[in-house]
Structure 1
Amino acid sequence: MPIKSEAQQEVMALHRIRERLIKNKTALTNQAHGLLSDFGIIFSQGERCFSVMAHIVAASSHVSENIKSLVAMLHEEFLGLKAKLKVIEAKLKQNLTQFPQAEILLSVPGVGYIIASALIACIDKGQAFKSAKDFAVWLGITPRQYASGSHSYMGKISKRGHRYLRKQLIHGARAVLNRYKNENDALKVWGESVAHRRGFNKAVVAIAHKLARIVWHLLQKDVMYQPQHIKA
Structure 2
Amino acid sequence: MAIEAFAPALETFQRGRDFSAWLGLVPRQHSSGGKQRLGRTSKMGQRDIRRLLISGAMSIIRWKGRNGGKPGSWLARMLPNKPRMVVAIALANKLARIVWAVMTRKEVYRDPAGAVC
- TM-score bracket, normalised by the shorter chain, equals 0.7 to 0.9
How many Å apart are 1:130 and its aligned residue? Answer: 2.3
- Tell me the secondary structure at the aligned position of residue 40 of structure 2: strand
For residue 219 of structure 1, what is the aligned residue in structure 2?
A: 103
Q: Aligned runs of 1:160-199 on 2, under 5 Å? A: 160-179=44-63, 183-184=69-70, 189-199=73-83
- Within the alignment, does 1:128 sit opposite 2:16 as a pair? no
Mapped partners of 1:196, 1:214: distance in 2: 24
Mapped partners of 1:153, 1:176: distance in 2: 29
Give 1:144's aligned amino acid.
R
Mapped partners of 1:130, 1:150: distance in 2: 23
Taking structure 1 as the reference length, what is the TM-score of the superposition?
A: 0.42
Q: In the alignment, is the contact (CA less than 8 A) between 2:70 and 2:76 conserved in 1?
A: no
Mapped partners of 2:34, 2:21: distance in 1: 24
Mapped partners of 1:127, 1:147: distance in 2: 27
Mapped partners of 2:87, 2:18: distance in 1: 21
Q: Any idea what the Cα deviations from partners look like across 1:75-107, whole Å, max 9, x if unmatched?
A: xxxxxxxxxxxxxxxxxxxxxxxxxxxxxxxxx
Give 2:55's aligned amino acid.
H
- Within the alignment, does 1:146 sit opposite 2:30 as a pair? yes
How many Å apart are 1:133 and its aligned residue? Answer: 1.6
Give 1:155's aligned amino acid.
G
Q: Greater share of helix residues, 1 or 2?
A: 1
Mapped partners of 1:213, 1:225: distance in 2: 12
How many Å apart are 1:124 and its aligned residue? Answer: 6.8
Q: Using a 3 Å threshold, how does the CA distance of structure 1 residues 169 and 210 change in structure 2: closer, same or farther?
A: same
Q: Using a 3 Å threshold, how does the CA distance of structure 1 residues 147 and 129 change in structure 2: closer, same or farther?
A: closer
Give 1:118's aligned amino acid.
A
Q: Any idea what the Cα deviations from partners look like across 1:138-179, whole Å, max 9, x if unmatched?
A: 101111123477643322110001011111110111122122
- Which residue of 98, 112, 119 maps to 2:3? 119
Question: Radius of gyration: which is bigger?
Answer: 1
Give 2:21's aligned amino acid.
V
Q: Using a 3 Å threshold, how does the CA distance of structure 1 residues 166 and 185 change in structure 2: closer, same or farther?
A: farther
Q: Using a 3 Å threshold, how does the CA distance of structure 1 residues 130 and 199 change in structure 2: closer, same or farther?
A: same
How many Å apart are 1:229 and its aligned residue? Answer: 1.6
How many Å apart are 1:190 and its aligned residue? Answer: 1.0
Question: Which segment drifts farther, 119-128 or 171-180?
Answer: 119-128
Give 1:172's aligned amino acid.
G
Q: Using a 3 Å threshold, how does the CA distance of structure 1 residues 120 and 179 change in structure 2: closer, same or farther?
A: farther
- Tell me the secondary structure at the aligned position of residue 79 of structure 2: helix
Q: CA RMSD in A?
A: 2.6
